Every structure is written in C-alpha cells, then in structure tokens.
Chain A
Amino acid sequence: MTTTTVSNRLTPGELIAGTRIIMRRELTAYFDSPIAYVYTIAFALLANFIFMNEFFLTGTVDMAGYFDLMPLLLAFFIPAVTMRLWAEEKKQRTVELLLTLPIRPMQAVLGKYLAAVGLFKLFLVSSLPIVVMLLVLGEPDLGRIVSAYLGLIALGGLLLAFGMLLSALSGDQIVAFVTSALVGFVFVLTGDERFVAVVDGWFPTLGVGTFLYEGFSVMPHYDNFVRGVIELSSVVYFALMTAVPLWVCALVLERNRT
C-alpha cells in the first residue's frame, strides 16, 4: 500500500502549475473583496505613523526605529491575514471542493501561502515612500535597509506559515486569530531582554528564558538582518521555521477530514 503508480505522480511543471492556480485564485479573492485594500491601508497608516513618530523624535536619517517596532506590529497584523485561510474554507465546506480537485494538499497550502506572502509584500511596498524620503533628506545606509527588508519578509513569511497552520488546526477564524497572535507575540517577546531576565528569574537553575531566546525566538535572527548581517544560521532558521508549519499544515489537511 505504500507505492504509487505513475499516474498519481506530479511532474515539477504540474506541481508549479497547480500551486500557481491556487495562488491566483487567492489573490483574486483578496482583491475582489475589501480585504487587500483595508489591510494594506491600515498597515500603511500604522507603519508610517510609527516611522514618522520615531523620525521626529530621533531626527536621524535611518529606519532603525521602524524596523524595531515592526515585529510587534506583524505579530498582531499577520493573524488578521491568516485567520481566514483554512478556517473559512472549512466553515463554508469549500475545502472539500478544493481538495477533491486533482491537486495535492501541499499545492493548496503553497498556493495560499504564496498569495498571502504577496499581500504581505504589498504591505511593505506601502513603506517605500519612507525610503524615498530618506534618500532625499540624506544618505541612509541602503545596504542595511535592503537587508532589514529581507529580514522583515522572512519574519512575515514565518508568521504567515504558523498562522496558516493554526487556521487549519482550529477551523474557527477567531480562535485562529487569537492563537496566531499569541504564537507571534511569544516568538517576538522571547527575544526581549527584559522578558528573558524575568523568565530566567522564575527558573534560575533552568535558564528557560535564555534557552527560549537562543533556541526559539525569532528576534536574534531578525536583528541580524536589521543590522545588515545575513548569517547562514539565520537563513536556515527562517527556512526551517517556515517550511515545517507549511508541511504540517498539508498533513493536517490530508488527515483531518470529516
């Protein structure tokens, strides 16, 4: 029972084609409804407010303050994007329609994920006027800004993957939002020095806070990108922490059927 016949295998071309079809449907769904517009405008307003506030306080021609505050904003914002991805499909029962088409669950997961990443990139595009403004006002470190944006895309990609998994597991949009936000905040807060000190204080002999910071938190890796340093360990961390929830999500969709 473990072997499959040729007619059940997908060629790389078929794999990509199926993923692209799902991605396009998702993107169309975003832009056919107010979702893409409302989310992008809300994100742009919040993100630009954060930057302008920091910019006028410090008076420096860089985006350090902006990139420092982004993880917390994303921990709240990304779940708003991911909560509906599978929970809505399950509630409306379209998941049965989708997964009885000749596509694999992983293609559906990747298609939805890539569409969500596309929407997230649109969020980030809304902050490009800040870069233009800084270029007009002075000479910001462009290499560092590009590296920080890459870090932001990696962080967003990771949170999107976990949010999508939790949407598939919960089947309810509100539960998916709350659990995804919680996971996002844990990923971010475990990178905060004060949080690490407090948790280490609770279990002095175990060093739980330090363990979470070094082994789990996204922040040391994101901070590397923001400092303009792209380390292989950080790239591997983001790749693994994104691929694993996507893979588990496909497994959940394959097995959790009624």
Chain B
Amino acid sequence: MIQVDHVTKHYGPTVAVDDVSFSIEEGEIVGFLGPNGAGKSTLLKMMCTWLPPTAGRISIAGHDVAMEPLAVRRSLGYLPEHNALYDGMRVDRFLQFIGKARGLRGGELSERVGWSVEACGLQEVYGKRVNQCSKGFRQRIGVAASLLHNPRVILLDEPTHGLDPLQVVAFLEFIQSLAEGRAILFSSHILSEVVAISERLLIINHGKLLADSPLVDLKARAAEKGQELEETVLDIVRSGGNGQ
C-alpha cells in the first residue's frame, strides 16, 4: 500500500532524507520514530506530494507520487505536523469544504461529515469557528478532515500534539480501529505512543532509516541486553543504526 524506494531529499547542501526505503502493507499501523529534525516530516511531506523527492520513488496505493499526484492525494489522508486550519471558518463549513474538495457530494458528503464528527468527538464545536476551539479540538478537526474521504492510506505527523493524556489514549484506540483495510504511518517522537499503537517501528535520525523492525524483535533485543525498550531505541539512534 505504501512503497518508499531509495528516497533522498536535499535542501541545498543539507541531506534531509538519505536513501530511505520501506514498505507498509494493508492492515498495518507502523510507528515512525525519531527525534525532532530527524527527517520524519520531510519524508511525510514527500509522501503526500507536497515536496518532490530529490531521488527515489514513492508509491501510495499503487500510484506514483511524482507521476500521479492527484490520484495519490485522493487515496491518502494526511495530518501535517502543524495542522494548519482555516481559523476564520466554522468547523461545519470547514469539513464540508474539505469534503467537497475531495470529491464528496450530496448524501455521501453529509454521511462522511457526520461520521467524522462523531468519530472525532466534534459535536461540541461543530457550529463554532475554528479559532474558537481549543488546541485539542483543533487537532481533532485536522484528523476528521484527513479521514473524511475514507482514505486507504493515512499519514499522521505528530497527531497527538496538543491532546491531553486521556485524549491521547482515546485517540490511539480510535486510530487502531481504523487499521482494517488501510495502511497507517504514525509519526511521533514519543516512544510510548508509538509502542501503544504499532506492531512495527521505523526509526530515523539525521535522515537515515536506522531500523525497520517488528516491535517484538526490538523487545526481544532489549530483553537480551537486559535493557528497557527505550534504552534499546536510544542505542539505535545514537549508534546511527550500526548496532543492529
């Protein structure tokens, strides 16, 4: 469902993403872990067609991001790290705008907006302006907008940012409930969140993919060394992947 082949991104002399490859199949939730500035957001921006890769190929739901950007955008739901929303719009109008731009019309639009409002718990703010909503609600509005068109691929960049601990738990459960029939890439710099939701981890730092491993393997490796999982992950990040 998601295929990333030898993708590199340069910003002038800076290498933001360096020859990264991985694939994610239908039904998988994969955690994308790395410190701030590791290259997670840049890679997600390339996957959602916002940035062109300097080299390599990305395919989303069978569509090449460089050749078929519109088809890719129709297939995926993307929540960017900064989750920018149109502040002056009412939440209901915002969701309807996003739905229409994604090709939903009439009864289907109403049905999907209704589903996303209920699934993301937006009833309380439905008629309010976006700029009257709390940070937690703003994050949920962004999630609702990214799921409106029932995408097969979901890219979430730091989606729990701004949510309180109870909301985080509910949100992670909600994302898990979406996994069937979809491929989900969940980017975060918080290990506990990624571990709670994923069965496989991608670890990135300085633009390089340091590990692509099932969570059970990482846990086994930690147990072998008598470490906590967090220490093992930190070792991988510090060693630049050489310790694998």
Interface residues of A (CB under 8 A from B): 1, 3-5, 7-8, 10, 18, 21-22, 24-25, 28-29, 32-33, 92-94, 96-97, 99-104, 257-258
Contacts and interface: CB of A to CB of B under 8 A. Distances in A.
A97 B89 contact: no
A94 B67 contact: no
Contacts, number: 76
B166 interface: no
Nearest to B149: A102
Nearest to B11: A258
B69 interface: yes
B111 to A, nearest CB: 19
Contacts of A99: 50
A88 B71 CA distance: 28
A32 B88 contact: yes
A53 B97 CA distance: 45
B67 A257 contact: no
Contacts of A103: 101
B15 to A, nearest CB: 16
A101 B84 contact: no
A8 B67 contact: yes
B206 to A, nearest CB: 19
B63 interface: yes
Interface residues of B, number: 32
A74 B125 CA distance: 40
A122 to B, nearest CB: 19
Given A8-B69, A21-B101, A28-B93, A94 B50 contact: no
B73 interface: yes
B50 A29 contact: no
B37 to A, nearest CB: 14
26 contacts: A5-B67, A7-B63, A7-B68, A7-B71, A8-B70, A8-B71, A10-B70, A18-B101, A21-B97, A25-B86, A29-B88, A32-B88, A33-B88, A92-B84, A93-B84, A94-B85, A96-B45, A96-B50, A96-B82, A100-B78, A101-B73, A101-B98, A102-B73, A102-B102, A102-B103, A258-B51
A99 B89 CA distance: 18
Nearest to B98: A101
Interface in B88-130: 88-90, 93, 97-98, 100-103
Given A18-B101, A257-B50, A102 B86 contact: no
Given A92-B87, A94-B85, A99-B50, A25 B97 contact: yes
